[in-house]
């Protein structure tokens, strides 16, 4: 095990903290397609939200396994902030998922499926591989987050949507803590071989599950059986900035030798959105009282 477990954050250090938040969630069935009335993207976002609670819990468990091996005070504080933020994400997405379930999205079934899947992962893989998988999946969530926060086309899809605030808040905090699991993995002596292997396994499972669960959700929606609407929506989804050549290059960069999450500089993005999402005192614009 390595004794050098100082985090290597390359943008100005801002202490991680969980924020007190409260959101307005969509309600009823009349606003079924809550992402700019787009069929496929609405189901894709609903599935993402459905996998977050159990996924965030898995991330917390994987990092917490190594609490007693982290000796650097700054990394210890970052782990506390990471766990606090992920716990908050879990709670807020459970509330959002309750509303999405009421709107016809199968978030409950997907949540139970993800729990069973991750229970198997806990049994089959070693703590090191689970931490490596957490680091890999955090690369995906942070990449999605920063693409969203920096792309006007994606942001415009959320204009007027009740999910805008929760998605921007979640994206901002994912960008903030994107390197924590990676730094813990490196600090406790995780191997490069397993880091890359875990990314390949995680990518296969994540892509397959997102595809299958989005199809599962679409099949339940009568609007999916309008071929013109479905094909138009699929075409728009295919052209999303989330799947651009630059986005794919970013996802793939994780497996390059010597990679660190901060190779993708979050500083300007965090500075911009900190001003957009927080008041002068650093409190969220959507904070609870």
Q: Residue 244: give its domain's CATH number.
A: 1.10.620
Structure tokens at 78: 């970052």
Residue at 1 is within a domain? no
User: What is the tens place of the pLDDT at every residue in 85-106?
Assistant: 999 999 999 999 999 999 999 9
End-to-end Cα distance, the chain: 44
**Whole-angstrom Cα distance, residue 283 to residue 289?**
10
**Residue 15 binned pLDDT confidence (cut-offs 50, 70, 90):** confident
To the question of pTM greater than 0.85 for the whole model, the response is yes
pLDDT band at 282 (very low <50, low <70, confident <90, very high): low
Q: Is residue 189 part of a domain?
A: yes
If one counts the domains in the chain, the total is: 1
- How far, in whole angstroms, is CA 122 from its chain's centroid? 20
Nearest Cα residue to 237 out of 152, 143, 157: 157
In a domain, 56, yes or no: yes
More reliable by pLDDT, 252 or 7: 252
Full DSSP string of 138-175? HHHHHHHHHHHHH-HHHHHHTTT-TTHHHHHHHHHHHH
Determine the pLDDT at residue 161.
Answer: 82
* Cβ atoms of residues 125 and 194 within 8 Å: no
- Classify the phi-psi angles of 20: left when phi > 0, otherwise alpha if psi is within -120 to 50, otherwise beta: beta
- Judge whether 151 lies within some domain: yes
Examine residue 185 and state whether it is found in any structural domain, yes or no.
Answer: yes
pLDDT at 280 over 50: no
Would you say 53 and 94 are in contact if contact means Cβ atoms under 8 Å apart? yes
- Domain ranges, residue 135: 39-277
**pLDDT tens figures, 211-251:** 999 999 999 999 999 999 999 999 999 999 999 999 999 99
Q: Is residue 33 part of a domain?
A: no
Query: Alpha-carbon distance 181 to 126, whole Å?
Result: 16
Residue 284 included in any domain: no
């Amino acid at each position: 095990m390595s004794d050098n477990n100082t985090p290597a954050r390359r943008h100005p250090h801002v202490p991680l903290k969980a924020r007190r938040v409260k959101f307005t969630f969509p309600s009823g069935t009349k606003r079924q397609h809550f992402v700019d009335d787009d069929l496929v993207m609405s189901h894709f976002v609903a599935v993402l939200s459905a996998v977050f609670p159990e996924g965030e819990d898995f991330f917390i468990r994987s990092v917490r396994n190594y609490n007693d091996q982290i000796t650097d005070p700054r990394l210890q504080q970052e782990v506390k902030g990471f766990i606090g933020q992920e716990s908050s994400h879990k709670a807020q997405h459970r509330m959002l998922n309750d509303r999405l379930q009421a709107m016809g999205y199968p978030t409950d079934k997907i949540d139970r499926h993800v729990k069973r899947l991750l229970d198997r992962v806990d049994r089959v893989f070693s703590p090191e591989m689970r931490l490596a998988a957490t680091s890999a999946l955090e690369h995906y969530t942070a990449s999605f987050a920063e693409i969203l926060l920096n792309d006007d086309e994606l942001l415009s899809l959320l204009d007027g949507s009740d999910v805008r605030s929760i998605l921007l808040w979640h994206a901002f905090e994912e960008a903030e803590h994107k390197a924590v699991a990676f730094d813990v993995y490196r600090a406790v002596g995780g191997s490069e071989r397993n880091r890359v292997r875990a990314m390949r396994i995680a990518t296969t499972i994540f892509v397959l599950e997102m595809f299958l669960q989005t199809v599962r959700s679409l099949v339940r929606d009568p609007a999916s059986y309008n071929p013109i609407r479905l094909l138009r929506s699929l075409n728009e989804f295919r052209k999303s900035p989330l799947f651009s050549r630059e986005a794919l290059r970013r996802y793939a960069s994780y497996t390059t030798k010597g990679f660190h999450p901060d190779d993708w500089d979050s500083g300007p993005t965090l500075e911009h959105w900190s001003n957009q999402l927080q008041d002068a005192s650093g409190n969220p614009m959507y904070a609870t009282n």
